[in-house]
Amino acid sequence: MHYGQAIFEGMKAYHVDDETIHLFRPKDHHQRLNNSAHRLCMPEVDEEVFIEGLEKLIALDHQWVPKVHGHALYVRPFMFASEEYLAAKVSKEYHFYVITSPVAAYYSEGFNPVKLTTSEKFVRAVRGGTGEAKAAGNYAASFLPAQKAQSKGYTQVIWLDALENRYIEEVGTMNIFFLIDDKLVTPKLSGSVLPGITRRSVIAIAKKWGVEVEERRVAIDEIIESYKEGKLQEVFGSGTAAVISPVGLIHHNDETIQLDQEKIGPFAKKMFATITGIQYGKIDDSFGWTHPISLG
């Protein structure tokens, strides 16, 4: 507890029909958990223990998986150090748990575009740090800047890189995408960005649609410029909670990018429909991302 060896994952289980529940890309979540464990000097979890454990837990708790489309069972695997020892050293003992909770549809009242601001003072993570791990401490560090942003009327902070305070990294608990001139642009995984599973899915689907995808450094000035030139078509976040979250506004220093506050753009909307369609078994999963749990 004192030295912060704590990591977690977050995914969802979806009701398909009375015999089937889908997990979405659980092996990717397992891999990311182990990458996080490696970074924080924690033991890895066996793939079999992880996957079979999830299958058994969800089959046992299947009545907690909401049947309403859009609702789901949130699944939270987590691990923390538990050795009773005071010195600052790697723990010899850990607890690994999985807890679940039913969650309602993120957008039960329609899409709600988020308002983002950069932070002049704070950074989330620096290359070489723990930003690409799903480490508990990353979230603790982000709460104060998020609170300050919220007190000014913004939903979340859009993080810039810690070295130059110039390149966009990610948002709160989402990765971020920009549709510029019909190209899908997203910050590359620089070492301080969490490699989102939804981000990976968005990129794969966009490529399948024949959309050009660029994973590269994205300066905030470039986004402001492309907005002023009328080339910025859509901005949206990606993450397990909301899947796709339209961005309505970005504030940086004295500049404000004002996108459509009322609704989600057509690209983001189609992406949302495609990913959720796959998750709920309504669209054919040609990627092999869904992991069915049979209740029969």
Ligand X SMILES: Cc1ncc(COP(=O)(O)O)c(C=O)c1O
Nearer to ligand X, 194 or 271 (CB): 194
> Is the torsion defined by CA of 241, 147, 246, 104 positive or negative?
positive
- Using CB under 6 A, which of 22, 199, 251, 252 touches ligand X? 199
Under rule CB under 6 A, residue 240 binds ligand X: yes
Q: How far is the CB of 166 from ligand X (least distance, A)?
A: 19
Nearer to ligand X, 135 or 227 (CB): 135
Q: Which residue has the tokens 């046992």?
A: 60
CA angle 95, 98, 100 (to 5 degrees): 145
Q: What SS3 state is found at 216?
A: strand
Under rule CB under 6 A, residue 197 binds ligand X: yes
Helix (H) or strand (E) holding 57: helix 47-60
Under rule CB under 6 A, residue 218 binds ligand X: no
Q: How far is the CB of 176 from ligand X (least distance, A)?
A: 9
Please name the amino acid found at residue 56. Answer: K
Q: How far is the CB of 85 from ligand X (least distance, A)?
A: 29
Helix (H) or strand (E) holding 147: helix 136-151
CA angle 25, 142, 78 (to 5 degrees): 40
Q: Which residue has the tokens 């907690």?
A: 64
> Is the torsion defined by CA of 59, 71, 155, 269 positive or negative?
positive
Nearer to ligand X, 15 or 199 (CB): 199
Structure tokens at 56: 């058994």
Binding mask 7-46 for ligand X (x = CB under 6 A): ---x------------------------------------
Max CA pair span of the chain: 59
- Using CB under 6 A, which of 26, 113, 129, 239 touches ligand X? 239
Q: In the range 132-171, which residues lie near ligand X by CB under 6 A?
A: 170
- Cβ-count burial 106-133 (b if 16+ within 10 Å, e if not): bbeeebebbbbbbbeebbbbeeebbbbb
> Is the torsion defined by CA of 222, 111, 273, 201 positive or negative?
positive
Nearer to ligand X, 23 or 91 (CB): 23
Nearer to ligand X, 155 or 238 (CB): 238
- Using CB under 6 A, which of 174, 179, 189, 257 touches ligand X? 174
- Using CB under 6 A, which of 117, 155, 175, 226 touches ligand X? 175
Nearer to ligand X, 91 or 238 (CB): 238
Part of the chain binding ligand X (CB under 6 A), chosen from 100-108, 172-180, 248-256, 283-291: 172-180
Number of residues that bind ligand X (CB under 6 A): 13
Part of the chain binding ligand X (CB under 6 A), chosen from 14-22, 97-105, 192-200, 220-228: 192-200
The residues with which 114 forms a beta bridge, in sequence order, are 247
Binding site for ligand X (CB under 6 A): 10, 170, 173-175, 194, 196-199, 238-240
